[in-house]
Amino acid sequence: MGSLSGKTLIVTGGARGIGRAYALALAKEGGNLVLADVLDATNVAEEIRDNGGEAVSTITDISNEQSNNEMARTATDAYGSIDVLINNAAMFSETTRGPFNEVTIEEWDQAFAVNVRGVWLSCCAVYPQMIKQGGGKIINIASNTCYKGTIGFPHYVASKSAILGLTRCLATELGRDGITVNVLSPDLIPDPTQRPTDAVSDEIVVAGRPLKRTQTAEDMIGTMLYLCSSASDFVTGQSILVNGGAYLH
């Protein structure tokens, strides 16, 4: 029996990348996974089931209230509970890189619609079920860029910085309901298939951190498992950076 046996965990953005890595690892610990993504995550759900786990997928646009509510219904219909929400989905690879004053208003608004409003709406969608159960865990994914002031995509950095404040507000408000809310922030995890420039960026990032190697999605797993499990039941409102020491927090 894994540490998450019988628990239902929603992973937004679970179709690929870090979200997929989270889902596979959490399933190995016995969790029932709900993979919510604007992309089709059927293959990830099938991979989990082929390995003896439990998983369903659902097409979800987190910037849309109705879509988030349907995500929550999918979870409860499939498994009867929502124990953990991992707000991983974000607009990142799609952001245009360049000077701050060349970001279009449309792209600025889109980044906040997905990265901030989307997280808020996902929390709103699962809240009634968590109240009904008497508790739950929400884990919001921010970014090491918030602490380093990384240039080139200010709309992304600003939107992820907003998640820090939202998390603290929710942790304070929802503690009475037995719901913990924390932030997990990775540094750059290169994905050349999505962002060809990552190879160059990674050289710069690695040179500036104490642990001199490229960060991988698997580096996030241990801390994620901790935040999802009962080991972190008395931890809320906290920001945990997994970054090889790139920013000492």
Residues that are catalytic: 156
Cα gap 102→73, rounded to integer Å: 40
For residue 65, what are the CA distances in angstroms to 68, 118, 174, 196, 211?
5, 8, 20, 33, 41
**And the tokens for 47?**
């991979």
Number of CB atoms found within 10 A of residue 31's CB: 29
Parallel, antiparallel, or unpaired: how do β-strands 136-141 and 84-87 relate?
Answer: parallel
For residue 180, what are the CA distances in angstroms to 37, 108, 123, 144, 198?
23, 30, 12, 21, 34
C-beta separation of 182 from 240 below 8 A? yes
